[in-house]
Structure 1
Amino acid sequence: MSIEKTYDEKDLVDTNVSPIDYNKETSSISNANNDGGYVDPYAQYENNNNGFWRNFVDGFKPLDLGEIDPNLTDVERANLIAARSPLKRGLKNRHLQMIAIGGSIGTGLFVGAGSALATGGPAALVIAWILTGMMMYCTVQALGELCVAFPVAGSFVQFNTRFITPAWGFCMAWNYALQWLVVLPLELVAAAITIDYWNDEINSAAWVVIFYVLVLFINIFGVKGYGEAEFLFSFLKVLAILGYIILGIVINCGGGPRGGYIGGQYWHNPGAFAAGFKGVCAVFVTSAFSFAGTELVGLAAAETENPRKSLPSATKQVFWRIALFYIISLTLVGVNVPYTDPRLLGNSGAAASPFVISIQNAGIKGLPSVMNAVIMIAVCSVANSSVYAASRTVASLADQGFAPRICGYIDREGRPLVGVAVSLFIGLLCFLAASKHHDDVFDWMLALSGLSSIFTWGSICACHLRFRAALKAKGRGTDELPFKAQSGIIGSMFGVLLNCLILMAQFWVALFPIGEKANATSFFQVFLCVPILIVCYFFWLFYKKDFKLFIPAGDLDIDTGRREVDLELLKQEIAEEKAFIASKPFYYRIYKFWC
C-alpha cells in the first residue's frame, strides 16, 4: 500500500522523508513503507500552555509515532522506525563541532597514556596513536557519509542491520550498548580516585554520589543538557591540551624552574622502545580506548538540527583532534617523561598521568593540581557521554527488535527514558568502589568493553563499503550523496584491515602477555568481548533461523530515511555548491577541504 502526498521543492529539501519512488512531474512521493513524509512529532506539544508544572509532568508521557504496517519484515520495520527519528533535534552546530573536537578526550589520553608509555616506550606510543588515528579518520569519514545521507535514530548501530545482516546488527548493537553501560561506573570511580590526589581521607563512595547526581542532573534536560555540558567540558579540555602543548615545548627546552635542556635524550636513554614489536602491539588497545567515543558524532546525527551542514564539518574536525591533541601532545609526553619512571605504573588516577608527571619533573608548583582538575572534568565528560550513548543505543535495540519494546520508550521531550534509566541503574555499580574487591570487579567490567570499539569501527567501515556496493548494484552514483567520505572506499578498506590487524595483535598479546606466562585470566581480561559476540551471533541465527551471512547488495535499502528525496534537485544543489567553492580563492578551498 502507498500513500501519496504533494510537496513543493522547498519542502523536499527541508523535510526528512523516506522515499521509495519520486515522480518529478507531479512532485509526489510513493512510499511503500507508509511513511508519507517526516512530520515533527513534537510540534503538537510545543504550544501547550498548561503551566510549567503540568507541562513538566506531561513531558514524561510517551511520544506518539503513529502506526506501523505489521506486514513489514524485521529489517524494513527497523529502517522505518529509525527513519521517523523520534529523538528531538536539539543539538546545534556549535555542540556538534565541540563534541567532534574534544568529546571523547578522557582518561584514555590523560591517564592511559602513562601505562602505554611504560609498556611500549615513546616510539611505540607515537606509532600506535598515528596508525589508530589514521584508521579513526577513515572511519569517521565513512560514518559522516552514511549519517549525512541517513540521519536516522540509532545511526551506525542501525546501519549494521540495514547494510550487513540483522544477526550482525544484533551483535554490534549489544556490543556497543555493553561498552557504554560499563563505562559509566568505571568513570565515576575514576573521578573519585582523581579526588584522592588532593584528599584521600574521605571515602570514595561519597565522591561517587556527587558525580552520579551531577550526571543524573545533566541528563534530565535531555539532548540539550548533554549538548551544553559537552560544549563546556570539551572547551575546557581543548584549552588545557593546547596549554600543555605550549608548556611541554617550554619544559623540553629547559624553561621550567629546574631548567635543563631535555631534547630527545629519553629516546636514547632509556630508549625509544620498551619491549620491541610486542610492546607496540600491546599499546594498540590503549590507543583504541583513548579514541573510544569519536563515533558519537554519528550517533548524534538524528538529534542535530541540520545534519547536512553540520556533520561534514564535524567529521573533518576529527583530523585536527587526532593531529593536534593526540599526536603532538603524546610526542611531547614521550620526550619529557622516561618510560622507566616508576610513577607511570606504580599509581592510579592522576598520579599516573604522564602529563602530571612531566609538570612535576619540571618543578612547576600549582599546575599539577590544575592538570588534575582537567582530568576530573574529562572523566565527568566521558561519564556524561556514556549515558547519552548507552541510552540511545538501548532505544535503538528496541526499535530493531533486539530488546523489549519498552526500552524504546521516548517521551515528549525526546528523552529515551528507559534507556537513561537502564544506564543509570548499571551505573550504581560505581558504589563497589567502597568494596575491598572492587579492583577485580572493575577489571572484568573493563574486559567487557576492552575491544568493543575495534568491532564498532570495523563494522562502520564495512557498512560504508556495503552502501557503496548497493549504489553500484542499483546503477546509481555518488553524485547523489550530500557528503562523500574524503578517504573513499580505500579508506574504509584500510579501516577494516587495520581493525583486523589490531585484533590479531591483541590476541597474541593476550595469549602471551609481556613478561608473564600464558594464563586464562589475562587472556579473557583482554578478549572477553569476543566470545560474548560469538554467543550473541549464533543465538540470533538460531533464534530467528536466518542463516544469511549478508544481504545481497541489490536488495539493500538505500532510500528509507534519506533527508533529500528529490535526487535530481539534490544533484543540482551539490553541483552548484562545488562550483561556488571552485570559484573561491585557493585558501578558501583549502579551508573547506579540512574544515
Structure 2
Amino acid sequence: MSNSSKNSDQPIITYSADSSTNTNSKWTNFKNSFKPARPLNNDLALDLEKNASDNLSSAFSQLHQNLIGLAGCVGSGLLVVSGNALANGGPGSVLIGWALVSSFLYCTMQALSELASCYPVSGSFFKYADKFVSRPASFASGLNYFLFWLVVLPLELVAASLCIQFWNSEINTVAWVAIFYVLIVGTNIFGGTAAFANTELVAAIIKLLGVIGFDILAIILICGGAGEEGYIGPKYWHNPGAFNHGFKGFTTVLISATYSLAGTELVGLTVCESSNNPRIALPRAIKQVFYRIIVFYMFTLTLIGFLVPSNSDKLGGSSSDATASPFVIAINNGGIKVLPSIFNVVVIISLLSIGNSAVYGFSRTALSLAESKLLPSFFAYVDQAGRPLGGIIFAAVFGLLSFVSASPKQAEVFAWLVALSALSTLFTWASCTTSHIRFRLAIQKQNRSLLEVPYLSKTGIWGSVYATICLVVVLCLQFWISLFPLGAKPNAGEFFKNYLGAVIWLACYLGYMVYARDWILLIPLDEIDLDSDRAETDADKLQQELHEEMEVLKLRPWYIRVYYYLF
C-alpha cells in the first residue's frame, strides 16, 4: 500500500509549516489548541464520547489540591449568608448548625475519597451512582449538579458587582458585571485548566490570609484591645441571647450551613486532572476539609457571635453584598476605618473565585454526562489543550443572564435561579454516601477483600449511613420550613422558590424511568461491576506499594511523620 493511500485512511490535522517567526509559531499553536483532542468524524465520534475525559489537562499539583480543599468554597456562604443565619437562629444555633452539617459533610468527603481512590473518573459524583445505585438516580443527581454550577456564575457575578457599591461607585453595576464576566470566561477559555488551577491557588491564599487576619483582629476586639466599646466578651450571648426563633430558627441555620459548605466536593472533580496519584493526592486534599471546618467555620463563626448581635438591623434582609457581611459589620463596629474596605476586596475575590469554580465544575459535569450519553455530544468536546470547550462555552452563554442586573426584575429572576439549585448540594452529597454504602455492600456480597481498596474511609460504612440519614432529615426540615416559612404565612411561590430543587430531582428521576423504560430502583449487589474503571487493578501490587510507603515513612524524622499524619 502506498504512503498516500495509507495516509488517506487517517484523519489529518494540519499545522502551519511557517515557523519563520516566533510570533507566528505561537499564534499557530494557539489556534491549533482549540482543535479537538481527537478528530471529530463519524467513525470516531463514539470513541470521543467514551474517552473525552482522558484528554483533560493534568494541571493540578498536590499544592493546588490542598489549597482548593482548604479554602476552595469560602465564598458568599461564609462571608455574607452567615449573617442571615446569625439573625435567624442566634450564635448558639449557628455553632450547633454548622457543627452538625460539618459532621456529615466530613463523612461524605471520606466516602468520596474512598470511591475516588478506586475509580478516579471525571464527574465522579453521578457516575458512582450510575455504577452502584441505578441509572435513574445517576441521571437525576448529575442533572441536579449540572444546574447547580450553571446558575452559580451569574449569581456570583452580580453579587461581586454589588460589592463594588460598598465604595459608592458611580460606575453602573452592569459595567462591573461585564468586567468580571470577561475575566472569568477569558481565564477558562484561553487559560484552560492551568489558569484555573493557578488563579484558584492565588484566591485561596488571599482568602486564607483574609480569614486568619480577621480572626486575630476579632480576638483583639473581643478582649477590648481596640475600638470604643472596650471589653465585649460574651455580652451578646446574654443580650439578645444565644438562640432566636426557636427550632424554626435553628432549621434555617441548617440550610444556610449546607449552602455555605456547598462546593467542598469540587476537589473530587480535580482527580482526573491531577498530576499526582489519586490514591495519595485526594485523601490528603480531603484531610484539609477537617481543618477548614475548625478554622474557617467553627472558630471564625464563634468569634462573629461574640462581635455582632443577632438583632443588628444590618444583618440579613434583602442585601446580598458586603454591607450584609457580619465580617464587615464586626470591623465597622470596632471603629476601624480602613479594614472594611480591605475585607470587601477579600469578599469580591471570594465571589469571583466561586464563579470561576462554577465554570470549571459545570464543564466537567457536562462532559461526564455527555460521555454517559445523557447530554448531547457537544458537551464532550475536549480540545488539544485539554479544555472541555463545549461545557465552557455553554456556561459562558448562560452566564450572560448576569446582565439581567440592569432589569428592574433582577431580584425575581435571580430568586428563581437560586431555586433551581438550592437543594442540589443535598442530593450531590447523598449520591456520594449512598454510592459508598452500596460499594461496601457489593464488596461484602461478592466476597471481595477491602485490601483491594487503596484508601479506606476513616468513618467507614456507618459514617456514610449517618450522613445519608442526616441529609434526608435536612431535606424533610427544608420541606417544613418551605411550607411554613420563618416570620411569614404559607405561600405557594415561596414554597417552590425554596423547594424547587427537590421537585426537579424527582421529576428527572421519574422522567428518566419513563423515557428510558428503566425501572431498576437498585442494581443487584452481585451484578455491580467492581473491576472496570479501577485505578489499581492488582491487589497484591497495591499492598506491596502501601507496605513500602509505610516502611519509608517509618525511617523519616518524627516531625515528618506527624506532618504526613496531619496533612
Given that 1:80 and 1:561 are in contact with CA atoms closer than 8 Å, whether structure 2 keeps it comes out as no
1:562 is aligned to: 534
Unaligned runs of 5+ in 2: 1-12, 20-24
Q: 2:154 aligns with which of 165, 179, 185?
A: 185
Supply the distance in 1 between the matched residues of 2:564 and 2:110 (Cα, whole angstroms): 15
Q: 1:244 aligns with which of 209, 214, 223?
A: 214
Equivalent residue runs for 1:183-332 within 5 Å = 183-219=152-188, 220-306=190-276, 307-332=278-303
Supply the distance in 1 between the matched residues of 2:229 and 2:186 (Cα, whole angstroms): 46
Supply the distance in 1 between the matched residues of 2:117 and 2:496 (Cα, whole angstroms): 38
For the residue of structure 2 that corresponds to 1:559, the secondary structure is coil
Given that 1:45 and 1:412 are in contact with CA atoms closer than 8 Å, whether structure 2 keeps it comes out as no
Seen in structure 2, the aligned counterparts of structure 1 residues 583 and 555 have a Cα distance that, compared at 3 Å, is farther
Seen in structure 2, the aligned counterparts of structure 1 residues 60 and 502 have a Cα distance that, compared at 3 Å, is same
Given that 2:95 and 2:298 are in contact with CA atoms closer than 8 Å, whether structure 1 keeps it comes out as yes
Seen in structure 2, the aligned counterparts of structure 1 residues 69 and 539 have a Cα distance that, compared at 3 Å, is farther
Q: Deviations over 1:31-88 (max 9, x none)?
A: xxxxxxxxxxxxx999x99622222111111122899999x9xxxx999648x63312
Letter of the structure 1 residue corresponding to residue 374 of structure 2: F
Equivalent residue runs for 1:136-147 within 5 Å = 136-147=105-116
1:29 is aligned to: none
Supply the distance in 2 between the matched residues of 1:113 and 1:544 (Cα, whole angstroms): 42
Given that 1:85 and 1:152 are in contact with CA atoms closer than 8 Å, whether structure 2 keeps it comes out as no
Supply the distance in 1 between the matched residues of 2:38 and 2:172 (Cα, whole angstroms): 46
Letter of the structure 1 residue corresponding to residue 101 of structure 2: T
Given that 1:87 and 1:153 are in contact with CA atoms closer than 8 Å, whether structure 2 keeps it comes out as no
Q: Deviations over 1:114-136 (max 9, x none)?
A: 11100111011111111111111
Q: Which moved more, 1:483-492 or 1:559-568?
A: 559-568
Letter of the structure 2 residue corresponding to residue 313 of structure 1: R
For the residue of structure 1 that corresponds to 2:413, the secondary structure is helix
Q: 2:495 aligns with which of 516, 523, 541?
A: 523
Supply the distance in 2 between the matched residues of 1:591 and 1:69 (Cα, whole angstroms): 51
Given that 2:122 and 2:365 are in contact with CA atoms closer than 8 Å, whether structure 1 keeps it comes out as no
Q: Deviations over 1:286-333 (max 9, x none)?
A: 111111110011011110011222211101011000110111001100
Supply the distance in 2 between the matched residues of 1:67 and 1:217 (Cα, whole angstroms): 28
**TM-score normalized with structure 1 length:** 0.88
Unaligned runs of 5+ in 1: 1-43
Equivalent residue runs for 1:500-579 within 5 Å = 500-579=472-551
For the residue of structure 2 that corresponds to 1:524, the secondary structure is helix
For the residue of structure 2 that corresponds to 1:197, the secondary structure is helix
Supply the distance in 2 between the matched residues of 1:495 and 1:78 (Cα, whole angstroms): 36
Given that 2:79 and 2:347 are in contact with CA atoms closer than 8 Å, whether structure 1 keeps it comes out as yes
Is residue 463 of structure 1 aligned with residue 435 of structure 2? Answer: yes
- Aligned-pair identity in percent equals 43
Q: Deviations over 1:497-555 (max 9, x none)?
A: 11111111111111111111111111111100111111111111111111000111221
**TM-score normalized with structure 2 length:** 0.92
CA apart distance, 1:465: 1.1
Seen in structure 2, the aligned counterparts of structure 1 residues 68 and 533 have a Cα distance that, compared at 3 Å, is farther
Letter of the structure 1 residue corresponding to residue 347 of structure 2: I
CA apart distance, 1:592: 2.9
Q: 2:333 aligns with which of 361, 379, 389?
A: 361
Q: Deviations over 1:151-180 (max 9, x none)?
A: 112222321111111111110111001001
Given that 1:142 and 1:492 are in contact with CA atoms closer than 8 Å, whether structure 2 keeps it comes out as yes
CA apart distance, 1:587: 5.7
Is residue 345 of structure 1 aligned with residue 319 of structure 2? Answer: no
Letter of the structure 2 residue corresponding to residue 129 of structure 1: W
Equivalent residue runs for 1:55-94 within 5 Å = 55-64=29-38, 81=51, 85-94=54-63
Letter of the structure 2 residue corresponding to residue 339 of structure 1: S
Seen in structure 2, the aligned counterparts of structure 1 residues 80 and 463 have a Cα distance that, compared at 3 Å, is farther
CA apart distance, 1:222: 1.1
Q: Which moved more, 1:540-549 or 1:566-575?
A: 566-575
Given that 1:110 and 1:354 are in contact with CA atoms closer than 8 Å, whether structure 2 keeps it comes out as yes
Given that 1:62 and 1:409 are in contact with CA atoms closer than 8 Å, whether structure 2 keeps it comes out as yes
Letter of the structure 1 residue corresponding to residue 564 of structure 2: K
Q: Which moved more, 1:550-559 or 1:576-585?
A: 576-585
Supply the distance in 2 between the matched residues of 1:68 and 1:569 (Cα, whole angstroms): 40
Q: Deviations over 1:431-471 (max 9, x none)?
A: 00011010011011001111110110011011111111222
Letter of the structure 2 residue corresponding to residue 53 of structure 1: W
Supply the distance in 2 between the matched residues of 1:560 and 1:325 (Cα, whole angstroms): 39
CA apart distance, 1:183: 0.5
Is residue 415 of structure 1 aligned with residue 387 of structure 2? Answer: yes
For the residue of structure 1 that corresponds to 2:239, the secondary structure is coil
For the residue of structure 1 that corresponds to 2:55, the secondary structure is coil
Number of residue pairs matched? 546
Supply the distance in 1 between the matched residues of 2:389 and 2:18 (Cα, whole angstroms): 23
Given that 2:451 and 2:539 are in contact with CA atoms closer than 8 Å, whether structure 1 keeps it comes out as no
Supply the distance in 1 between the matched residues of 2:559 and 2:177 (Cα, whole angstroms): 49
Supply the distance in 2 between the matched residues of 1:334 and 1:65 (Cα, whole angstroms): 57
2:121 is aligned to: 152
Q: Deviations over 1:347-369 (max 9, x none)?
A: 43000000000111010110000
Letter of the structure 1 residue corresponding to residue 77 of structure 2: G
For the residue of structure 2 that corresponds to 1:576, the secondary structure is helix
For the residue of structure 1 that corresponds to 2:56, the secondary structure is coil
2:95 is aligned to: 126
Supply the distance in 2 between the matched residues of 1:206 and 1:165 (Cα, whole angstroms): 46
2:3 is aligned to: none
CA RMSD of aligned residues (A): 2.4
1:397 is aligned to: 369
Seen in structure 2, the aligned counterparts of structure 1 residues 115 and 154 have a Cα distance that, compared at 3 Å, is same
CA apart distance, 1:577: 2.8
Q: 1:108 aligns with which of 68, 74, 77?
A: 77
CA apart distance, 1:414: 0.8
Letter of the structure 1 residue corresponding to residue 357 of structure 2: S
Given that 1:116 and 1:125 are in contact with CA atoms closer than 8 Å, whether structure 2 keeps it comes out as yes
For the residue of structure 1 that corresponds to 2:116, the secondary structure is helix
Given that 1:79 and 1:162 are in contact with CA atoms closer than 8 Å, whether structure 2 keeps it comes out as no
Supply the distance in 2 between the matched residues of 1:53 and 1:68 (Cα, whole angstroms): 29
1:52 is aligned to: 26
Supply the distance in 1 between the matched residues of 2:238 and 2:369 (Cα, whole angstroms): 51
Supply the distance in 1 between the matched residues of 2:165 and 2:461 (Cα, whole angstroms): 47
Is residue 166 of structure 1 aligned with residue 138 of structure 2? Answer: no
CA apart distance, 1:276: 1.2
